[in-house]
Structure 1
Amino acid sequence: MRLAIFDDYRLGAVTDAGVVDVTGALPWAADPDPLTAGWWRRLCRDFDAVHDDLRQAAAEGEPRDVTLRAPVLNPSKIVACASNYAAHVQEMHDVQQRTLGRVESWMMDFDVFLKAPSSVIGPSDDIRLPPEVVAAGHEIHHESELVIVVGAGGSDIPEDRAMAHIRGYTIGLDITVRSPADRSRRKSHDTFSPLGPWLTTADEIADPGALDIRLACDGEVRQEVNTSALLTSIPRVVSYASRMMTLLPGDVIFTGAPPGVGPIKSGDVLDTSITGLGAMRHQVR
């Protein structure tokens, strides 16, 4: 299924005809407060138990005009992968030399870091550039990525069982300040984690390692890559992250930036798409 969060944080099923409100099919209350919306995390954990009811509600309901929100609610954490495409690692040598005046060799190795959950916005919300960063002359870059949403959480998840812990996938942008600051700080400003347009459940994606990612800035294609180029596979990413921190239902994992990252400025329009997951458009302010 394709699951959307819309309007006043209601649950929708995305059909060919549009978004159908299926909130009433949930067997538990859907708290409309996004800061206490445990219903979403419970859905990520227990989706299999309610799948049939949601599908029936989607078939019987009427599509409606909605405003899509980010397809996650108050995740306990956002885990992000660094240096997971070889061509991106190579381009970062030039990026760092230009923006830092040196190359940080340790940043060229695969690893994971954290982004603030408060940085999440929806699939059509504006990306806001921090005035103090702009005033300091630091470049701010786009990074389009395949994003995992965790279903059944866990720690020390074996790689051969990792796919069973994925609820689904969505599109993400990891907006990044290029400066000497800590990675998490540079990537956690408000609006720096656009997600959307909806969550496509894992059963709909035959192979997450064979998806086309595309980003255009003002119509100019900057990033275009297939996830088959990932250096660390989707199962290995989940397993690796779970060895350092317990993954909880509804947690978000950015799988790494493809090559083609570049600066954004006020007035730019970013169009991002991934095979089978839809598309997003964001205005930069």
Structure 2
Amino acid sequence: MKLALFDGNRLGVVVDDDHSIVDVSEVVDTSDRDPLTAGWWRALCRDWADLRERVAGLAAEGTRIPVDQVRLDAPALAPSKVLAAASNYRAHVQEMHDVQERTLGTVHSWMMEFDVFLKSPSSLTAPAGPIVLPAEVVSAGQEIHHESELVIVVGAGGKDIPESEALGAVFGFTAGLDITVRSPADRSRRKSYDTFSPLGPWIRIRDDDFDGNDLDITLTVDGQVRQSVNTTDLITPVARIVSYASSIMTLHPGDLIFTGAPPGVGPINAGETLVTTISGIGTMTTAVA
């Protein structure tokens, strides 16, 4: 099943091979529509097992709305935190030596090791964007790069989750862009500008047949393929990322975890269009302004 947020964070199920949406907003507490609190969304992530059957029933009976007639919102609301994995594809680790030499004039070896870091939740934006390039960064001549990634949406969450149980703490998966300024600044700062985390187009719910493994990720910029990888190449796979992150901090329902940048990162410029596709999830087309 695929869930979308649309037209001011209404809840929908994506059907008809991604061509239609059925509004199932009645399944949530409509008295809490504030996107800054979004208690209903976190409760949905936490209590999905109890709500799934009702949502499926509403989707089967409801009116189908063409996807091209709605505005898709970012398929996540007010996460308590957004985590991201660093250095999680070997080919990306290799390419970063050249990227850092070109943009920083030196190589920071500690940045080539897997770990997790925080991005600001306020960097989230709708799948269409636009990604707004900060004027001061552009005028300084600093490169701003795309990083297309599989994103984990936390369900039940928890603390110190064993790897063997980690997938059970996951609500689903979506696609994300971890937009990054290449500069000497702190990693979290460089990735936390407003609009630097487009998310979408919707969430594919985790189940026994869809666990985030063996997914193709492709990103094009104005039709040119920049990134193409399969999640089997992750150094630290999904379950281990969740387990590791939970050993550091409690994961709350609705939290997001970007799983790491594939190789092929590169600069983006105003006027370009980024198309990110993850097999089994969908495609989001994002403008750069």
TM bin (shorter chain): over 0.9
CA offsets 1:197-220 (integer angstroms, 9 cap, x no match): 001100175342200000000100
Q: Indicate whether 1:35 and 2:16 are aligned.
A: no
Q: Matches of 1:30 and 1:254 in 2, distance apart?
A: 31
Of 20, 23, 27, 1:21 maps to: 23
Q: Indicate whether 1:2 and 2:2 are aligned.
A: yes
* Partner in structure 1 of residue 48 of structure 2: 47
CA offsets 1:73-94 (integer angstroms, 9 cap, x no match): 0000000000000000000000
Q: Which ranges in structure 1 are unaligned for 5 or more consecutive residues?
A: none
Alignment RMSD (CA, Å): 1.0
Q: Matches of 2:211 and 2:43 in 1, distance apart?
A: 25
* Partner in structure 2 of residue 128 of structure 1: 132
After TM superposition, the runs of 4+ consecutive aligned structure 1 residues lying more than 6 A away are none
Of 195, 214, 220, 1:216 maps to: 220
Q: Matches of 1:115 and 1:207 in 2, distance apart?
A: 24
* Partner in structure 2 of residue 63 of structure 1: 64
TM superposition shift of 1:63: 1.4
Q: How does 1:1-285 map to 2 (within 5 A)?
A: 1-16=1-16, 18-26=20-28, 28-29=29-30, 31-64=32-65, 65-203=69-207, 205-285=209-289
CA offsets 1:224-269 (integer angstroms, 9 cap, x no match): 0000000001110000000111000000000000000000011111
TM superposition shift of 1:36: 1.5
TM superposition shift of 1:30: 5.3
- The normalised TM-score by structure 2 is 0.96
CA offsets 1:65-118 (integer angstroms, 9 cap, x no match): 311100000000000000000000000000000000000000000000000000
Contact 2:84 2:118 in 1 (8 A): yes
Q: Which ranges in structure 2 are unaligned for 5 or more consecutive residues?
A: none
- Count of aligned pairs between the two proteins: 284
Query: What secondary structure sits across from 2:207 in the alignment?
Result: helix
CA offsets 1:165-213 (integer angstroms, 9 cap, x no match): 0000000000000000000000000000000000110017534220000
CA offsets 1:34-91 (integer angstroms, 9 cap, x no match): 1011100000000111111111101111112311100000000000000000000000
- The normalised TM-score by structure 1 is 0.98
